[in-house]
Amino acid sequence: YTGKYWNSKETGTYYSLASGQPLFLSDAKFDSGCGWPSFFEPIDKDAIIYRSDDAHGMKRIEILDSKSGSHLGHVFNDGPPPTGLRYCLNSDAMVFVPLGEDPKNYGIGVD
Q: Show the 3-state SS of 13-47.
A: EEEECCCCCEEEEHHHEECCCCCCCEECCCCCHHH
Q: How many domains does the chain have?
A: 1
Round to whole Å and give the CA distance between 38 and 86. Answer: 6
In a domain, 3, yes or no: no
CATH number for 72? 2.170.150.20
The tens digit of pLDDT for each residue in 42-90 reads 999 999 999 988 877 778 899 999 999 999 999 999 999 999 999 999 9
Length of the chain: 111
**Residue 88 structural domain:** 12-106
55 within a domain of the structure (yes/no): yes
88 included as an active-site residue: yes
Residue 2's pLDDT is what?
65
**Residue 4 domain flag:** no
Residue 7 lies in a domain: no
User: Active site residue: 23, 64, 88, 89, which one?
Assistant: 88
pTM exceeds 0.75, yes or no: yes
* 14 torsion bin: left (phi>0), alpha (psi -120 to 50), beta (else): beta
pLDDT of 110: 67
